[in-house]
Amino acid sequence: MYATLEGLRRFNIPHQFEVISIITLYAQWIREGRLKVSPSWNKERLRFTVQDPCKLVRQGLGEAVAEDLRFVIKSVVGEENFVDVWPRGSNNYCCGGGGGALQAGFVKNRRAFGKIKFDQLSQAEPDVVITPCHNCHTQIKDITEYYGGEWQTTHLWNWITRALVI
């Protein structure tokens, strides 16, 4: 998504389509009642927080997608079971895993940078961290294990499927 969006911007390529995220579509479908979800499955009252991916939010689609992401999560897990991180949205901290960092081999540096994200997530005291980005997912899982975090790191769709009303 980001590469397409940035290519269109940078090279001023004329186009007649809108670049949107699946997260925006999830939010739209929930609002329209086309995607029916309920937080009633969350009887344990698990606490959730979220990682705003750099390419999706800060460098991509901005605050609108960050708000859609939070709307979807709250719809799926229950608003009272969501705790936001600070800073959030476009000002959120990078996880440290993007831009090839996961594959570059500099594990010590990546984990040291990721400590900022680990500390931020720790302050939220979540049971689950939702990451809609694969790089964020892998990096946060790694720093959670490395620094001794006690939360589960998962993708958003795992919880959407759990909350589906069929």
For residue range 71-112, list pLDDT tens digits in order: 999 999 999 999 999 999 999 999 999 878 888 888 999 999
User: How high is the pLDDT of residue 140?
Assistant: 97
Q: Kindly give the parts of the chain with pLDDT less than 70.
A: none
Task: Look up residue 81 and give its DSSP letter.
Answer: G
User: How high is the pLDDT of residue 68?
Assistant: 98
User: How high is the pLDDT of residue 124?
Assistant: 97
* Domains contained in the chain, CATH given: 2-163 (3.40.50)
Model pTM above 0.95: no
Contact in structure between 53 and 21 (CB atoms under 8 Å): no
Q: How far apart are CA 38 and CA 132, in angstroms?
A: 20
User: How high is the pLDDT of residue 19?
Assistant: 84
Q: What Å distances lie between residue 27 and 63, 72, 84, 101, CA to CA?
A: 14, 6, 18, 30
Burial of 92 (0-12, 13-18, 19+ CB in 10 A): buried
